[in-house]
Structure 1
Amino acid sequence: MHWDFKQWNHVFKLDPDREISDEWLEKVCLSGTDAIMVGGSSGITFDNTVDLLSRIRRYEVPCVLEVSDEDAIVPGFDMFFIPMVLNAGDPQWIVGHHQKALREYGSILDWSQVFTEGYVILNEQSTAAQITEANTDLDVRDVEAYARMADRLLHCPIFYMEYSGTFGDMALVARMKGLLKDARLFYGGGIDSPEKAYQAAEAAHTIIVGNAVYDQLEQALATVQAVREAKARQ
C-alpha cells in the first residue's frame, strides 16, 4: 500500500451520510484502490464519521478524512485533507471554517498528517457549489490562475478539480496538470464507468470515484483496473 498520496492514482470517496452495506464496503476496500477518502458536502457528523472509519479499519487500505465540518474531525485517520475552495463566494469556505477548526484542534493536530487541497468547484448544479456559493462561470484563464494560485502562491500539495456529479472537460484537466509544478492534480466528478476512469486517469494525476460506489458498484470497482491500464501506458 502507498501511504504517500503523491503515489496515488485511484481513490474511492465514501460519504458518512450515505448507507453502504458491509458486503459492498468490503469490495471497495479490497478493490486494489490506493486509498479511501471519507467526506461529503452535507450531513457529516462526528458519529457517522467515526462509524465509517471503524468499518474501513478492518482493512489495510490507507484512509484519509477530507474535513468539511469542524465538528466532524475524528482522530485515527492516516491523513487529513483540508479543502480550501478557491472559487467560493462565501469566504468561510476559504479560511473561515479552517480558523474555527484550528481554534479547537490546532494545538493537538499532528501536522505531518495535515495537507491542504486547493479546490476549484466547476459544476454549478452540485451541492458543493451551492453550499460554498462557488463562482463556476470560469474561463480557461480563470482556472489556470486558480491552478497557479494553489501550486505556486499557496503551496497546496493538491489541486483538486471538482465537477461533482458530472463528467468534466478532460482537455481542461490535462492542461491544468501540465501547468502544475509541485501540486498533484486530483480530479473528481462523474466517473461512473471504466471508460471515463481511463480518460480521467490520462488527464489527471489522481482520480476520485464517489457516487458510482452507491449507484453502480460493479462499474465503480472496474475503474481501478482501468486506471492501472491508463497509467501503464503513460
Structure 2
Amino acid sequence: MSLGSSLGRSLRRCVAAAGIGAETLGSLDTNPVPADWRHVTKVDPETAKLLPVAYPLYLRHTDAVSVGGSSAVTAENTEETFRLLARAPVPAFHEPSEARHVTERTRELAAFLALPEVLNGETEALVGTLGEGLAYIRDEMVPALLREKLPGPLYRLVGDPLVDFATSWLLAEAVFEAYIVQNPASAAARRSGVDESDVLSPAVARERAMVADRHLDSEVVYVEYSGTYGGDEAADVLRAVADSVNGARVWYGGGIDDREKTVEMLAAGADTVVVGDCFHDVADEEVAVCARAVEALGVAPSADEIRSWFDAEVDPAETAAARYLRTTPGVDDPVAAAERALLAALALCFGALPAAVGEEGEPAAKRADRLLSAVDPGAVTRLAAALTDGDGDGSGNADAALGDYCGRVAAALSDTDPEPQRVRHLSLSKLSVSR
C-alpha cells in the first residue's frame, strides 16, 4: 500500500471514529431525517390516486409527505405530484420504487431522496434493486444531465470524473430506509420476496435493525405491515428495534386509520407513523360530496345554501376526512377540522364551477374567496396561510397565492386546462359536471 493510500485510509478512519463518538458518546444528531417528525403522509403518484383539492388544509397537520408507489408510477406523474406538492406547507421527499422515477425536476423539488432496502427479503431487494438503480444513475441519468449542462469539448475532457463524483454525491446525499416487511400478503412483500418464513420475531428484528443502524448506516429503520395493522405483534417488534438503534429513526407503517393506533405505535417505540391510503380516500370523498352538492344545488348556489346542504347531508364525524385527521397527533378536534376542510372543498368547487361550465360573471378566484369567507369565517386565512407556507417563491403574498390556487382549481374543473401537470391530480379534476 502506498504512503498516500495509507494516509487516506487513516484519515477516513479518524473521520469515521469522530462521527461514531459524536453519535454514541455525545448528543450530536447527524441524521438528516428530522427527529421531531411524528406523522408522515404517503402520497402515491399513480394517476388514479388523487389529492384532495383542499390538500394544504390536511397536510398542514402532518410533518412531511413521502412521494412514491409501486403500481402505474412513472417519471411524469411523479413530477406532476411534486409540482402540486410545492404548494404544500410541509416538506415532500421522494421514495422511488424505480430509479427511472428520479429526474432532475424531482431532485429539485424533493427535500431528499429516500432509497428503500429490505432487511428480510431476497438479496435482490437489499442490493440488487439498488445496484440496478445505481447503474442507471451512473450510466444514463448523470451523463445525460452533464451533457445538457456542459459544452461538448468540456464534457469530453472532464465528463467521466464528474459522472463518478456526481453519482457518489447523490448517494451520499440520499437517505436509506431499511425495511422490515412483516405482512407477507402485501404488495411490498411480493416485490421483495418476503413470505411467511421471513416474518421476523422481535429478537431477530432487533439484530437486523442493529446491522442497518451500525453497518449499513441507514437513516431509517421502517417496520412495515403495509395495509394491515400490526397491533401487539408490531408493538413488540418496535420495542425491540427502538431499543437497538442509536442514530436511525424508527418508523412504523400499516393500517393506521385512527388516533388510538397512532398513539399505540408511537408509545411502542416508533418515532414516526406513516399514513397512506386514508389520505387518498379523502380525495375520493371530496369528489363524491361535491357531485352530490352540485346535483342538489346547481353550479352557482349561495354560501347559505352550501352551508345548509352540508349541515343536512354530511356527518363530518363519519367522513374519510375525519379518519385521516384522527391519525395526526397534533389535531385536537379532528371532526371540526374535517368539517372546515370539506366546506373549503365545496367553496372551491362552487367558486370555480361557473367559469368551468362557461357562465359569465364573477371571476372564479374572487367567487371562491367570497364563498370561503361566508361558509367558514376563518377559511380564507387558514388556506392562504397553508399555501404561502409551502410557496417556493418566498413572496409570502397570501392573496396572490390563494388567487393563483383558485385559478388552478378552476382549471382542474375545466376542459381548457392550461397546466395539466399541476392540476389533473386534484380530486375535482374527476368531477363530472354537465357543461
Q: Tell me the residue number matched to 1:71.
A: 100
Letter matched to residue 48 of structure 1:
N
Using the TM superposition, name which of 20-29 and 113-122 deviates more.
Answer: 20-29
- Aligned pairs, number: 224
Match of 1:25 among 13, 37, 55: 55
Q: Is the 8 A contact 1:195 1:226 kept in 2?
A: no
Q: Please report how far the alpha carbon of residue 148 of structure 1 lies from its aligned counterpart in structure 2 after TM superposition.
A: 1.1
> In structure 2, the residue corresponding to 1:94 is in which secondary structure?
helix
Distance 1:105 1:71, change over 3 A: same
* Cα shift readout 1:87-132 (whole Å, capped 9, x = no counterpart): 112x222112212222232544545641111111000110110121
* Cα shift readout 1:49-94 (whole Å, capped 9, x = no counterpart): 11111111012311100121111113221101000011112x2221
1:80 aligns to 2:108 (yes or no): no
Distance 1:206 1:128, change over 3 A: same
Largest Rg, 1 or 2: 2
> In structure 1, the residue corresponding to 2:57 is in which secondary structure?
helix
Q: Tell me the residue number matched to 2:126.
A: 94
1:225 aligns to 2:329 (yes or no): yes
1:213 aligns to 2:279 (yes or no): yes
Q: Tell me the residue number matched to 1:145.
A: 207
Separation (CA, whole Å) in 2 of partners of 1:227 and 1:125:
32
Structure 1 runs of 4+ with >6 Å offset = none
Q: Tell me the residue number matched to 2:191.
A: 131
Q: Is the 8 A contact 1:66 1:82 kept in 2?
A: yes
TM (normalized to structure 2)?
0.48
Using the TM superposition, name which of 128-137 and 157-166 deviates more.
Answer: 128-137
Separation (CA, whole Å) in 1 of partners of 2:204 and 2:171:
31
> In structure 1, the residue corresponding to 2:264 is in which secondary structure?
helix
Distance 1:55 1:144, change over 3 A: same
Q: Is the 8 A contact 1:82 1:115 kept in 2?
A: yes
* Cα shift readout 1:139-165 (whole Å, capped 9, x = no counterpart): 222212211111122121111110001
Q: Please report how far the alpha carbon of residue 205 of structure 1 lies from its aligned counterpart in structure 2 after TM superposition.
A: 0.7
Q: Is the 8 A contact 2:117 2:126 kept in 1?
A: yes
Alignment of 1:51-200 (within 5 A): 51-74=80-103, 75-76=107-108, 77-89=110-122, 91-106=123-138, 107=163, 108=166, 110-111=170-171, 113-135=173-195, 136-168=198-230, 169-200=234-265
TM (normalized to structure 1)?
0.87
Letter matched to residue 222 of structure 1:
R
Letter matched to residue 225 of structure 1:
P
Between structures 1 and 2, the one with greater strand share: 1
Separation (CA, whole Å) in 2 of partners of 1:198 and 1:23:
28
Distance 1:196 1:226, change over 3 A: farther
Q: Is the 8 A contact 2:325 2:331 kept in 1?
A: no
Distance 1:156 1:214, change over 3 A: same
Q: Is the 8 A contact 1:9 1:227 kept in 2?
A: no
> In structure 2, the residue corresponding to 1:100 is in which secondary structure?
helix
> In structure 2, the residue corresponding to 1:116 is in which secondary structure?
strand
Q: Is the 8 A contact 1:194 1:226 kept in 2?
A: no
Distance 1:144 1:45, change over 3 A: same
Distance 1:167 1:22, change over 3 A: closer
Alignment of 1:7-26 (within 5 A): 7-17=36-46, 18-26=48-56
Using the TM superposition, name which of 153-162 and 107-116 deviates more.
Answer: 107-116
Distance 1:160 1:183, change over 3 A: same
Q: Please report how far the alpha carbon of residue 20 of structure 1 lies from its aligned counterpart in structure 2 after TM superposition.
A: 1.6
The percent of aligned pairs where both chains have the same amino acid is: 30
Between structures 1 and 2, the one with greater helix share: 2
Separation (CA, whole Å) in 2 of partners of 1:197 and 1:56:
24
Separation (CA, whole Å) in 1 of partners of 2:199 and 2:246:
25
Unaligned runs of 5+ in 2: 1-31, 139-162, 282-319, 333-435
Q: Tell me the residue number matched to 2:79.
A: 50
Q: Please report how far the alpha carbon of residue 221 of structure 1 lies from its aligned counterpart in structure 2 after TM superposition.
A: 1.7
Distance 1:164 1:61, change over 3 A: same
Letter matched to residue 218 of structure 1:
A
Distance 1:85 1:220, change over 3 A: same
